[in-house]
Amino acid sequence: MLSLVTAAEQQYRHETWSRDREQALLVAIRSRAAAQTVAVQAAAVPQAGAVSRPSVAFAPRLQRAAWARPIGARARAAEACATACAVA
């Protein structure tokens, strides 16, 4: 009977520790997200005497495959093959 009580106490302590850790993690995530939104809003407000820079558009990154492709295999048919270009 004593071992059941001890096991229950250990499980309770473990669950309490896990729950507290998860709540602390959620609080950290929320505070970081709030800080990022404040930083973005502060960056959007132009400061007096600041020089405005032209915005630069970036091309979207290609999505990489989750596994390695064999040499010569292409993700898309329209993608140029670097091996064929080097050999030709």
- DSSP 8-state assignment for residue 49: T
User: Looking at the whole model, is its pTM more than 0.75?
Assistant: no
Q: How long a stretch of residues is the chain?
A: 88
Q: What tokens were used for 53?
A: 């820079």
Helix or strand run (H / E) with residue 85: helix 82-87
- pLDDT tens figures, 49-77: 666 666 767 777 777 666 666 666 666 66
For the cut 60, the answer to whether the pLDDT of residue 87 exceeds it is no
